[in-house]
Amino acid sequence: MNNSADNSGARAPGTPRPFVGINFTCCNIYCRIYKNKAGDAYEGACPKCRRKVKLLVGPGGTSKRFFDAR
């Protein structure tokens, strides 16, 4: 079996980087945030006001790909 990622968050060359879409309601801006190197969370910030957001990855989570950050 050829997995594109292992448990450490490493990716095979040429595979897309996992992301989720975030609508930052603080500045009404949509952008993507990407999975961190540890692979345990999606992390990013509003490109305008730099408000940070962190979505944890784990069992019992959600399959949603788009979120509002308030």
**pLDDT by residue (tens digit) across 23-55?**
999 999 999 999 999 999 999 999 999 999 999
Q: What is the pTM of this model?
A: 0.77
Residues 67, 22: Cα–Cα separation, whole Å: 5
Q: Which of 49, 43, 41 is nearest to 24 (CA)?
A: 49
Sorting pLDDT into bands at 50, 70 and 90, what band is 9? low
Residue 50 in tokens: 């730099």
Residues 33, 44: Cα–Cα separation, whole Å: 5
